[in-house]
């Protein structure tokens, strides 16, 4: 059963429940009308005092609820976007797709450009262009030569959110012997970009998968086929 059908059935069930509840209320109200009329005078004697207390209490509840909403909105604003990322870190994924290997690197632009704000000056734009060229070159990744891989596709994306930004680079390499790809050396990346201090790596082949961390002191990834 599809999710759309389930949602439709749930709505129908709720409507039926509301109709049934409404019918019960009608019967109950008819049966208790005399009792309500007989007690109206007694209730009216205390109605003004209780109404005043209720109004005051209702205002307090309204103020509390309004305050909670403001707090929730503020909390959501602080936790949204890219504010939670950590400078010096990055994520790297490798996935084997037939004879291709797709390698994705994502991290704060602070690691690459030295800043995260949107480039405004000529110097900023020159830095972005130069550092992006250096990062996207295939030589920044020391691929296992026995796999005989060549660059097939390259994409770069910048994600700007206020004062924070991330860069994502995706390399697709076509390999004559993808099963021979058993090692990736990120020494050129760490040497060129000292801003990268810790990279979380996940890899997935046709027969195995694993995860590890790489750093300037441990820059080599060993793939277990």
Q: Is the pLDDT of residue 96 over 80?
A: yes
- Asked whether residue 132 is domain-assigned, the answer is yes
Which pLDDT value is given to residue 85? 63
Contact 145, 187 (CB under 8 A): no
- Asked whether residue 145 is domain-assigned, the answer is yes
pLDDT digits (tens, 9 = 90+) for 15-74: 444 444 444 444 334 444 444 444 444 444 444 444 444 444 444 544 444 444 443 433
Tallying the residues shown for the chain, one arrives at: 225
Q: Is 223 in a helix, a strand, or coil?
A: coil
- Asked whether residue 80 is domain-assigned, the answer is no
- Asked whether residue 152 is domain-assigned, the answer is yes
In this prediction, what percent of the chain has a pLDDT beyond 90? Answer: 56
- Asked whether residue 124 is domain-assigned, the answer is yes
pLDDT digits (tens, 9 = 90+) for 105-154: 999 999 999 999 999 999 999 999 999 999 998 899 999 999 999 999 99
Q: What is the average per-residue pLDDT within 202-224? A: 94
Contact 113, 127 (CB under 8 A): yes
Cα 33 to Cα 28, 29, 38, 145, distances in angstroms: 9, 6, 9, 90
Of 183, 185, 213, residue with least CA distance to 199: 213
Q: Which of 111-115, 160-164, 190-194 shows the lowest per-residue confidence on average (mean pLDDT)?
A: 160-164
Which pLDDT value is given to residue 12? 45
- Asked whether residue 97 is domain-assigned, the answer is yes
Tokens found for residue 72: 């929730």
- Asked whether residue 202 is domain-assigned, the answer is yes
Tokens found for residue 161: 């959110």
Give the list of residues 6+ apart from residue 200 with CB closer than 8 angstroms, or none.
Answer: 89, 90, 91, 92, 211, 213
Contact 197, 127 (CB under 8 A): no
- Asked whether residue 53 is domain-assigned, the answer is no
Residue 163 pLDDT grade (very low, low, confident, very high; cuts 50, 70, 90): confident
Please tell me the total count of domains within the chain: 1
Cα 194 to Cα 90, 128, 129, 215, distances in angstroms: 12, 16, 18, 10
Question: Domain of 109?
Answer: 89-222
């Amino acid at each position: 059963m599809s999710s759309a059908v389930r949602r439709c059935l749930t709505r129908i069930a709720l409507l039926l429940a509301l109709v049934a509840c409404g019918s019960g209320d009608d019967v109950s109200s008819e049966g208790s009308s005399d009792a309500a009329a007989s007690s109206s005078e007694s209730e009216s004697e205390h109605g003004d005092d209780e109404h005043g207390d209720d109004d005051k209490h209702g205002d307090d509840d309204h103020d509390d609820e309004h305050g909670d909403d403001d707090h929730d909105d503020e909390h959501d604003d602080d936790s949204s976007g890219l504010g939670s990322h950590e400078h010096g870190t990055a994520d790297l994924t490798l996935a084997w797709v037939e004879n291709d290997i797709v390698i994705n690197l994502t991290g704060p632009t602070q690691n690459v450009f030295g800043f995260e704000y949107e480039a405004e000056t000529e110097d900023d734009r020159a830095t972005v262009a130069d550092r992006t060229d250096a990062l996207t070159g295939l030589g920044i990744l020391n691929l296992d030569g026995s796999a005989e891989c060549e660059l097939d596709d390259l994409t770069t994306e910048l994600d700007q959110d206020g004062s924070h930004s991330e860069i994502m680079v995706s390399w697709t390499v076509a390999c004559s012997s993808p099963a021979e790809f058993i090692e990736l050396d990120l020494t050129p990346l760490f040497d060129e970009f000292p801003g990268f201090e810790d990279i979380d790596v996940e890899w997935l082949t046709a027969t195995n998968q694993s995860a590890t961390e790489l750093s300037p002191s441990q820059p080599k990834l060993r793939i277990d086929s």
